[in-house]
Amino acid sequence: MTLAEILLSLALTMKAQWYPPGRNPETPEEYRARMDVIAQAIAIEAEAAEGWRSDTTSLAAATLVTWYAESGFALEVHNGSGRSRYGEDQGKARCFGQLHQTGYVPKAEWQKLTGVDLESTRRCARATMRVLTAQANRCGMKPNKPDNSWVMARMWAGYMTGNTCNSIKASRMRARRWNQVMGQMRAAESNPTVLADRQG
């Protein structure tokens, strides 16, 4: 399985957004197609990313976990309609990473982060990975050393607060989810039927 195929399989095992009966804006087929765009975008950008001090798989997993935790892959966040239950920080945040305009994400780039097409989704992935990388490096990730949940929890604390690297409950929850996702990805790399069986 390719990295994109593994990511797609994982994304499809994550609980989709709930909508009241008759209110879901996507058919199952449309949802799957959009998950495929998400998987491709993360895979392409993870393979091209620079500065991350671990391997491509761990960055892809971190991005998938971040996007799901921040936005639940909600269509309303992906397309930038501003009508999601996630609020987008009162219009200050964009794309699945809930990114603000900062030194890491300049205004001109920030304005182009939404859209359900592959190029827009790649821009969101690229910006999310840049912020994750900056926070990981700032919060203690060492080159060529195995990732661990402690370091990842510190990275997410930095990502979520924009400030402290001291882990918080929410960052530890993301680190645990990342650890689970990493185990599933490593298993799928060696035995592709693992995720196929989980999808049923």
Residue 199 lies in a domain: no
How confident is the model at residue 193, as a pLDDT? 75
The DSSP code sequence of 138-195 is HTTPPTTS---HHHHHHHHHHHHHSS--S--HHHHHHHHHHHHHHHHHHHHHH-THHH
Of 165 and 17, more confident: 165
**Two structure tokens written together for 185:** 């990805």
How many domains does the structure of the chain reveal?
Answer: 1
Of residues 147, 141, 113, 117, the one with CA closest to residue 127 = 113
Residue 197 lies in a domain: no
Residue 200 lies in a domain: no
CA atoms of 129 and 49, how far apart (whole Å): 8
Average pLDDT, the chain: 91
Full residue range of the structural domain in which residue 183 is found: 3-191
**Two structure tokens written together for 152:** 């990842």
Residue 46 lies in a domain: yes
Q: What is the pLDDT of residues 26-80, one digit of tens each?
A: 999 999 999 999 999 999 999 999 999 999 999 999 999 999 999 999 999 999 9
- Give pTM, 2 decimals: 0.92
Residue 92 lies in a domain: yes
Residue 196 lies in a domain: no
Q: What is the pLDDT of residues 75-105, one digit of tens each?
A: 999 999 866 555 555 568 899 999 999 999 9
Q: Would you say residue 13 has pLDDT above 60?
A: yes
Section 1-23 average pLDDT: 94
Residue 131 lies in a domain: yes
Residue 136, burial from CB neighbour count under 10 angstroms (0-12, 13-18, 19+)? buried
Residue 34 lies in a domain: yes
